[in-house]
Structure 1
Amino acid sequence: MTAKAIQIVSPVGGWNTRDALDQMPPEDAVILTNWFPTVGRVQTRKGYVTYASDMPGPVETLAEFNAGASRKFIAASNNAIYDISTPGAVGIALASGFQNDRWSFSQFDDASGGARMALVNGIDPPQMYDGMAVSALTVSGTDLTINNLIGVFTFKNRSYFWEKDSQDFWYSATGALGGSLNKFPLGRVSGFGGNLIAIQSWTVDGGDGVDDLAIFIMSSGDVIIYQGSDPGSAADWALVGIFRLGAPLSSRGALKVGSEVVVMTKDGYVPLSKVLDAGRAASARAISDKINGAVKEAANLYAGNFGWQALMYPQGNYLLFNVPVSETRFDQHIFNTLTNTWTKFEGLNGICWSLYNDKLYFGGIDGNVYLADEGHNDNGNPITFSAQTAWNYLNSRGQIKRFTALKPVFESEGALPISLALAFDFETPAATYSVSNFSGNAPEWDNSPWDLSAWAGENTIIRPWVSVAGIGLNVSTRVIAALGQQSCKWFSLEYLFEPAGYV
């Protein structure tokens, strides 16, 4: 029978853990790790390099201070706070003697003190940073234990605080960071209980113009929304509604993205605007819908670990959702904001993440801060990239096919040690990979992997025809590389096969 050649695009549709393997779109991937799907191709992620070093313990908080000409970067490690605005080994701590490095922070330009950042951690007295020094922040309130303040947020020219294990929030006078606070008891409003873990602002247009609403997120999943600017005035503070989400994973997992608010929950990564009409039942409207299987599994396994965080990285065109697998391993679920596609990053073991001067940084378990999205290796170590394409019937679902050749199309700067292997009819991959070789366990994978290092050139397209041998109704290709000095762009795969009988 006459051979056919069918070309399919690389998995530009991104990682998919939602759809059945038999029904997955051909442009999606069963596995996509350290590859970044974008327009017309997938490409290898960049690496990281050491930025600030020699802090005496894990770095659990990073914060950028940005006020006029003053742009500073601070880090918390081993019960101290350091100025890391300049790369290299850190100097003497700005402040020390604390009991916790997990600070909540918010910057505020108040009427008397200028630009300052408030920092609270639920065990130490509140602190402030003015771009030069860390000092005590004056805070008081009737029956308030200031050391219990664990969260801070600024909204409509006021500072808001909340205590650990409490349903209440505290708010300042207009134009003040801290000072004398008044209490607002949210427990009288919430229908499902829980404690306050995050505050955010949500920008909406209710028909009378754009307004910012105050969003209070409870550990139970209640989201309480208020309109106004003065919680002490019935004329300027009104309840908009109470809505229900899955239980939030972290106070650092509520992120404002443009006018939207995205919350990391046990039901997925949920934008508020998509669920207010359907509540928790609308988990399919989560932006993580396509990978919700992986998200829910991670939440079930690791919800109690520290390190869940959401961050927008505009320069990279993606949202980063940090997943704390253990005390030493952190993965990232990455959402391309241009193409609305997903991938997973591994090997970037960041406890916490931050932008500084628009670049991306993470705090390490080793007392260092790292500049991410930089270079072609992970601080000198090769990066392993792994992908498995969706299972594909190649336009003839019931027809057996005998595969004879495969042509991948890549682009790279030099010799490309990348390996491929085929599997047929949903056989479970059982592959291992070393720096430049791929090996499979027959019969799951074709037992003749191919190393493409011979097909190379400076900044060239690499597209060899490779002989293969296998029979099946459908096919999936595994693509794995370990690269340390170059990038790779993957455009497509082309299968050459002979159609056989129908089943």
Structure 2
Amino acid sequence: MANPYTFGAPVAGWVTNQSLVKSKPFSAQTLENFVPTSTGIIERGGSIKRATIGSNPVESFITYNAGGTKKIWACDINTIRDVTSPADNVTPPAASVSGQTSGYYSYVNFTTSGGSFVVAVNGTDFLQLYSTTFDWTAVNGLATYRLNFDAQTVNFTSGGTVTGGTSGAVATIVKNVDNGATGSLIIQSITGTFVDNENITGGAGGSATANIPGGVVQVSSAITGVATSALSHVWLYRNRLFFIQGGTMKASYLPVDSVTGALGTINLSGVFQRGGSLLFGGTWSLDAGDGIDDKCVFVTTEGEAAIYEGSNPAGSTAAEWNLVGRYDLTTPMGKRATMRAGGDLIIATKEGLVPISVAINKDAAALSLAAISRNIEPDWKREAAERISLPWEVIKWPDMNYAIVSLPISAEGQAAWSFVVNLETGAWCKFVGWATRCIELHDNRLFFGTNDGKVFEGEITGNDDGQPIYYTYVGNPDHMKSIGRLKTVHQARPTFLSSTPFNPRISFSVNYKVELPTAPDAADGGSADLWDSGQWDVALWDQAAPEATVSGGQWISIGKTGYVMQPQLQISGFLNRRPDVEFVQLDVTFENGGVVV
């Protein structure tokens, strides 16, 4: 007699840290490119190449968002390039900043009474400061000025000297902002006073006319006390910029509400016990926002964390600045491998994704038991060991209700993977096919950079830049409430909610041996009615998206016999729009056999 049984969608996500004999209900042994939700699993979107910045790896993104202006830059070892709206996805945009020696940046957006800025550091080059007023400027121990010009006949050269033909004033050229016949020189070390309408010349042949009716304009003050090329990480704590002095146990800080000024220094050499150097810092709060209970966290390369409270590091009382304690983590996976969840600071380490609130209550050896990544602990630890040579990153995307952990390809043969966790349920999955060297969320759009200098946008369309997406779900072993008994699954009937076409392939593996059939052909995606993708006069850009409907009500012959069953679902995606497919459940009919003794 045939019996009914239902396999629910793996809403518990990808789980690999458990006994196969007694698996967690509604969990998956494999969950690739399916995202677990509270009701089922859905297909992730595809990706499109948006820009190329060269042949070197894209090591960082930097974003700016203030006053209605939103910009994103991609960084390699030598340059910072604006990829907000590139002319095409093949030709590298002109460098906004060149001559750099590292592309691995830390940055913050910071609005002060003087304007809105991006502050970026990389530990080897001068601090870079961006504002819509003066573009990018290198900030060091000297004040920086802007000398506007017109009637330019020969371009000026950065690093050269500009001389006023009438005044005799001279200055060092930091940068030439060239708009053709007009533009401006970013200068330092001025001797004398430049005057309006005088001819200005550069040592390498530059020539133009000064256009400064009000004189040269100061664009930034100096940062003194520590060479800004030594600053490797920056974060914001209680309206004040803090920095790590790379390769040391020292941190620095600027005055409140300032992007320049005299740097103070905090020496933490006597605080930590395992050596190494400071890697990054951040803010930890006991509530869900910024407030007077915020604490400043310093983390070392060896996985130690020191937590301070107070608002004035130069203060002489405990109320102004006080060490709360030193705690053990394990090796961090990168200075940008963190995220905020409420007020908590969550850090990606070799043991897993660990909240700082857990680290203060547990021994380092027990942290993996309380890690957010506990369900995929074996996979996390394996990838952490194999990809430790390149820094990881973590990005939280509230609108998509997930966080993504980049797994950079650090050796030949490594797969293009990312770990993904549902922010609401804590369920995990794996994205396959995205080679995420670095990742960033900009204007509620996800971007990732690759080792070959490409910039992609993710979760858009239904293919990976012209390549199919393979969605795979393999359930964890299920005894179907009759452990130890032989059983035969005769038929299966899947249930989906979908508004886009798809061709599912349902199969089963038995007795703990996973055997997947060949992936099915992709469904015909039709034409894309999307701006910048659809065909003019054909695409219906204002057409409402079709509503999801229940589908997949046909019974499929299975004919698999074994003691333990693992349901399997495969879909090949090659749509021109983002897929809308949710797997809900799989009904089966089966018969029990006898117990063999």
Q: Taking structure 1 as reference, are residues 116 and 414 closer, same or farther at Cα in structure 2, changes over 3 Å only?
A: closer
Amino acid at match of 2:96: L
Deviation at residue 101 of structure 1 after TM alignment? 1.3
Give the corresponding residue for 1:9.
8
Aligned to 1:198: 280
Higher strand share: 1
Alpha-carbon displacement from aligned partner over 1:325-382 (angstroms, at most 9, x marks no partner): 3368542111101222110111111211111112211123343322211111111221
* Match among 154, 172, 177 for residue 236 of structure 2: 154
Matched AA of 2:12: G
Deviations 1:144-184 (A, max 9, x none): 44323211122112221112211111111222224321221
Which residue identity lines up with residue 140 of structure 2 in the other structure?
A: T
Task: Give the match's secondary structure for 1:294.
Answer: helix
Residues 1:36 and 2:30 aligned together: no
Distance 1:414 1:250, change over 3 A: closer
Relative distance call for 1:229 and 1:366 in structure 2 (3 A) is same
Q: Tell me, yes or no, if structure 1 residue 187 matches structure 2 residue 273.
A: no
Name the CA distance, whole Å, in 1 between partners of 2:256 and 2:548.
61
Query: Which position in structure 2 is the counterpart of 1:249?
Result: 333
- 1:267 is displaced (CA, Å) by 0.8
* Superposed CA offset, 1:129-152 (max 9, x none): 113511112357888443232111
Which range moves more in the overlay, 129-138 or 216-225?
129-138
What whole-Å deviation, never above 9, does each CA across 1:184-242 have from its counterpart, x for those lacking one?
A: 11111112222111110011159xx8511001111111110000111111320001111
Displacement of 1:105: 1.0
Match of 1:123 in 2: 124
Contact 1:26 1:391 (C-alpha < 8 Å) held by counterparts: no
1:17 Cα deviation after fit: 1.1
Aligned to 2:156: none
Q: Secondary structure of the equivalent of 1:188? A: coil
Taking the TM superposition and a 5 Å limit, the aligned residue runs for 1:415-434 are: 416-429=502-515, 432-433=518-519
1:412 and 1:196, CA in 2 relative to 1: closer, same or farther beyond 3 A? same
Distance 1:178 1:40 in 2: 50
1:315 aligns with 399
The equivalent residue for 1:347 is 433
> Where do residues 1-150 of structure 1 align in structure 2 (5 Å cutoff)?
2-53=1-52, 55=54, 57-77=56-76, 79-89=78-88, 91-111=93-113, 113-131=114-132, 133-139=135-141, 144-150=226-232
How high is the sequence identity, in percent, across the aligned residues? 27
* Residue 242 to residue 261, structure 1, CA distance change in 2 (3 Å): same
Equivalent position of 1:284 in the other structure: 369
Distance (Å, rounded) in 2 between the aligned partners of 1:66 and 1:143: 29
Letter in 2 for 1:391: P
Return the alpha-carbon distance in structure 1 between the equivalents of residues 568 and 287 of structure 2.
Answer: 47
Q: Is the 8 A contact 2:53 2:81 kept in 1?
A: no
Alignment match of 1:260 (pick from 344, 366, 377): 344
Q: How many residues align?
A: 479
Amino acid at match of 1:123: T
**Retained in 2: the 8 A contact 1:322–1:330?**
no
> Matches of 1:14 and 1:421 in 2, distance apart?
19
TM-score normalised according to structure 2 size: 0.76
**Pair 1:388 & 2:502 matched:** no
Going from structure 1 to structure 2, the CA distance change for 1:49 and 1:4 (only over 3 Å counts) comes to same
Which whole-Å CA distance do the structure 2 matches of 1:373 and 1:385 have between them? Answer: 14
Check whether the contact 1:56–1:78 (CA below 8 A) recurs between aligned residues: no
User: Secondary structure at the residue paired with 1:350?
Assistant: coil
2:493, 2:594 → 1: CA distance?
24
Corresponding position of 1:271: 355
Question: Which sections of structure 1, spanning at least 5 residues, go unmatched?
Answer: 438-456
Alignment partner for residue 483 of structure 2, among 377, 397, 400?
A: 397
Give the aligned partner of residue 454 of structure 1. Answer: none
**2:117 is aligned with what amino acid?**
R
Aligned to 1:490: 583
Q: 2:245 aligns with which of 157, 163, 175?
A: 163
Determine which of 552, 555, 573 is the counterpart of 1:465: 555
Cα deviation, 1:261-315, whole Å, max 9, x if unaligned, reads: 1000011000111231113123211111111111111111111124x00111111
Aligned mates of 2:245, 2:548 — CA distance in 1: 58
- Structure 2 CA distance, aligned partners of 1:493 and 1:195? 53
Q: Is the 8 A contact 1:419 1:481 kept in 2?
A: yes
* Residue in 1 that maps onto 2:298: 216
Following the alignment from structure 2 to structure 1, what is the Cα–Cα distance between the partners of residues 506 and 19?
23
Distance of 1:251 and 1:338 partners within structure 2? 25
Q: Equivalent residue for 1:227?
A: 309
Return the alpha-carbon distance in structure 2 between the equivalents of residues 251 and 414 of structure 1.
40
Distance in structure 1 (CA, Å) of the matches to 2:122 and 2:521: 43
8 Å CA contact 2:522–2:574 kept in 1: the answer is no
Which residue of structure 1 aligns with residue 194 of structure 2? Answer: none
Q: Is the 8 A contact 2:440 2:446 kept in 1?
A: yes
1:334 matches 2:420:
yes
Per the TM alignment, residue 431 of structure 1 is displaced from its structure 2 partner at its CA by: 5.0
**2:593 corresponding residue in structure 1:** 500
User: How big is the shift at 1:56?
Assistant: 5.1
1:370 alignment partner, SS class: strand
Residue 58 (structure 1) shift: 2.7
Answer whether contact 2:409 2:415 (CA < 8 A) is retained: yes
CA distance in 2, matches of 1:300, 1:54: 30
Alpha carbons of structure 1 residues 277 and 463: separation in structure 2 relative to 1, 3 Å: same
Q: Structure 1 pair 143/357, CA: closer, same or farther in 2 (3 Å)? A: closer
Question: Residue 13 of structure 2 aligns to which amino acid in structure 1?
Answer: G
Does the Cα contact within 8 Å between 1:13 and 1:341 map onto a contact in 2?
yes
Letter in 2 for 1:120: V
Partner Cα separation in structure 2 for residue 155 and residue 262 of structure 1: 16
205 and 375 in structure 1: CA distance in 2 versus 1, 3 angstrom threshold: closer
Q: CA deviation at 1:72?
A: 1.9
Shift of 1:398: 2.6
Q: Do 1:51 and 1:88's aligned partners in 2 also have CA atoms closer than 8 Å?
A: no
Measure how far apart 1:476 and its partner are.
0.5
Give the TM-score normalised by structure 1: 0.89
Q: CA RMSD in A?
A: 2.4
**Which region of structure 1 is more displaced relative to structure 2, 246-255 or 398-407?**
398-407
**Larger-Rg structure:** 2
Shift in Å, 1:257: 2.3
User: Which letter does structure 2 place at the counterpart of 1:300?
Assistant: A
Structure 1 Cα separation of the partners of residues 585 and 432 of structure 2: 24
Moved more, 14-23 or 457-466: 457-466
Contact map agreement 2:51 2:454 (CA 8 A) in 1: yes
